[in-house]
Amino acid sequence: MNSIKQFLIISTSIILSLIALIYYVYLLIVPSLPPIDNLSDYRPKEPLQVFTKEGDLIAEFGEEHRDFIKIDNVPQKMINAIIATEDRRFFEHNGIDFVGIFRATYKTLLGISFEGASTITMQVARNFFLTSDKTIKRKISEILLSLEIEKYLSKEQILELYMNQIYLGQRSFGFNSAANTYFSKNLNELNTAEMALLAGLPKAPSRYNPFNNYELAIKRQKDVLASMLRHGFIDEPTYIIALDEQINLKESKMKKDVDAEFVAEMVRKDLFDEFGEKIYSSGLKVFTTIKSSNQKLANLAVRDGIINYINRHQPREADGIFDLKNFISNEKIENEEELKKEVIIFLKKFSAYGDFIPGVITKLQPLEIEAILKDGRTINVYKKGLKLIENDKGYEDQPKEYRRIREGGVFHFTKKRNEWIITQLPKVESALIAMDPNSGEINALVGGFDFQKNKFNHITQAYRQPGSIFKPFIYSAAIEKGVTPATLVNDNFFFMTADELMSKENWEPKNYNDKYEGPTRLRVGLSKSKNMVAIRTLKYIEPKYAQDYVTRFGFDKKKIPPFLSLALGVAEVKPINLISAFAVFANGGYLKEPYYIDKIIDSNDREIKLKSSITNEDTPRIIDPRNAFIMDSMLKDVIKDGTAKRARILKRTDIAGKTGTTNDLVDAWFVGYNPDHIALTWFGYDTPQSLGEHETGSRAALPIWIDYMKGALDGLPEKIYAEPEGIIPHKINPVDGTLTSNDDESGIYEYFYEEFYPQDNAFFMIN
């Protein structure tokens, strides 16, 4: 009893001395304390967020993971867990819990436990205004600031600050952010056990990090639950249930609704160039022009196009070989669990990209593959997913261990239409961009196979040869010079000497299929992509005129050489410029600059503008609307009965487009549109090389466009391209292009400029 009395005297003396000391230092420290009035307008460091047009999250950029939550939206059970653990007299004290200090001192001296005496308010003061230095001055400052905060803010406001500012490990600040970090959930989706685990983190985030120290984290979580029960925040049945509740740890890399990383990087770069480092902490929200459904369609179309290309060609060697011999006896796998563990360890050095997951083939049969994936799943691949094996030509009769696809081989696996397929990481690349031709608003953009594998944006950064996809701009120039779609052009061998070209070599270009049809109407020459027709047309209008004319479409003149080879697309263009150029034919003659930022909202919900913002208001018309109309009608024929016939599967009459293939099948293109939507696809290697036999624009690029447009135009009515004034439609003889009676059943309608209408039915042929 005497020891207790002695303890009370000592404790009281300590407290009184402390109060005296605080009062003495008050006059010295108060003048240096920071103002606290900005706490009522708390703005945490929030990351830059990028969204689709509909508000689906694309990406976040920031050093700290934060997800601000209003106190009204915090589950009461989460608040109770924090109060029970950190400051159970929070709603009773004025910032300093003298009862708590006394209790902590008592227990410490008796060796019962070592409790802290910092209140939630004191932690707020420390986190917002002070360092973590353990000095008397810092502690007194903390106490004084806590008293001021309690005068200035309500308990709910203080709790909200604490809930959002406290550091909880894994670069996460605040409980809502931590819920996402550790469980990939929002705070209101957690069960009692998970909330208790989070409530135990503030004491020592690193020590109780469940990813690193699971057993310690669970021990701490049970202490929190016991405290909640002891102080009446939960009842006995809830406590018992919580002890058995599942803790579903799931590290969140970042919850995003739509995969558009190339777009996110474009946005980040634009904002960084204008605002600098502060974009990562100022809470800007960027709403792009990307439409969620369109972007998902584009991602899938590009992915499937690449898979189909891989499956058309002979496979490469396996990325690695796992030695299975220690796990096979009498041609059967033994000790499957041990095998799985070893395979998972082995596969750590192989990367997964999106849903392309590395795996080891453990069983190879004619109609089935069994494999263990990097994530530990065992999967089976059946007939439809074995196309890669069907192309393993020349190895069928070899022993299993000498085949390219063999047991123990590391390949990648993915799902297509809910069935597993075996494939390989592509070396080839593909890209797609889609936009509204009337506004320039980009609705989908895929810059390559996978941003994490290759961050080079093939839509905005790559200069590639356009090949035959460039021909419409030559024909547009010719139409402006009086050539008509009915004009005959000689589709025959073409030869120019080195002297004529002022070159070192003669030039003898050929049609793709090496077939020639003699006199051919310009319209047919475009639909069948006849090289000889394009070359002779360019020769007729002269390359220098064509160079000057096509630059109005936004192409860089320096990369458009004024030579006859321009007719074959021997130039350099960026896909983003090429799609805006084709949009001119879709929208009646206007050059619309593609843009992808719809609006930017700051942390005060105010809209801000970039200096580099694109506005397509009052865009000048760059070509005659009649030219755009005639070119559109010719490009429709490319789909109707030309090189893009397979697009007829869409069963629409309002689509037009052009295939493109460069020399030696290095680049494959397709661009197509209707009056409301245009999309362009490209296919090729970063280091130019042939795509392989028959890999033309119609085979490699067009199917990707079809897969995308099938969804993008689904449910949208067909649109008629209005005929502009100054056009004369008249029937012609389809053989020689001469006018015939409009009553002639064998004739076909053609369009002419008023001023170039052949009054005397005279026609000429370009030789």
Instruction: Give the pLDDT confidence of 450-497 residue by residue, as tens digits.
Output: 999 999 999 999 999 999 999 999 999 999 999 999 999 999 999 988
CA pair distance 60, 284, nearest whole angstrom:
10
Reported confidence tier of residue 28, pLDDT bands at 50, 70, 90: low
Q: Assess whether pLDDT exceeds 70 at residue 229.
A: yes
- Return the minimum-mean-pLDDT range out of 33-37, 86-90, 172-176, 745-749: 33-37
pLDDT (average), residues 375-381: 94
CA pair distance 734, 299, nearest whole angstrom:
42
- Range list for CATH 2.40.50.140 in the chain: 316-423
CA pair distance 492, 767, nearest whole angstrom:
9
> Which comes out higher in pLDDT, residue 64 or 505?
505
- What is the structure's pLDDT at 114? 44
- Return the minimum-mean-pLDDT range out of 143-152, 353-362, 540-549, 569-578: 143-152
- Return the minimum-mean-pLDDT range out of 118-132, 293-307, 326-340: 326-340
CATH top-level class of 64-244: mainly alpha
Contact 119, 132 (CB under 8 A): no
- Range list for CATH 1.10.3810.10 in the chain: 64-244
User: In angstroms, what is the C-alpha Rg of the chain?
Assistant: 35
- What is the structure's pLDDT at 115? 47
Write down the CATH superfamily of domain 316-423.
Nucleic acid-binding proteins (2.40.50.140)
How does the average pLDDT of the chain come out, rounded? 90
- What is the structure's pLDDT at 30? 66
14-20: Cβ within 8 A, 24+ apart: 14/105, 15/98, 15/101, 15/102
Q: Is residue 468 flagged as an active site residue?
A: yes
- What is the structure's pLDDT at 16? 76
Q: Assess whether pLDDT exceeds 50 at residue 413.
A: yes
* High-pLDDT (> 90) share of the chain, %: 70
734-737: Cβ within 8 A, 24+ apart: 734/521, 736/488, 736/519, 736/763, 737/484, 737/486, 737/487, 737/488, 737/521, 737/763
Task: With residue 414 as reference, give the H or E element that holds it.
Answer: strand 410-416
Reported confidence tier of residue 267, pLDDT bands at 50, 70, 90: very high
Active-site residue (options: 141, 177, 468, 529): 468
Q: Assess whether pLDDT exceeds 70 at residue 394.
A: no
Q: How many CB atoms are closer than 10 A to CB 358?
A: 23
Reported confidence tier of residue 330, pLDDT bands at 50, 70, 90: low
Q: Is residue 337 flagged as an active site residue?
A: no
End-to-end CA distance of the chain: 121
Partnered with residue 412 across adjacent β-strands are 358, 423
Please identify which residue in the block is written with the tokens 């321009």: 566
pLDDT digits (tens, 9 = 90+) for 614-671: 777 778 899 999 999 999 999 999 999 999 999 999 999 999 999 999 999 999 999 9
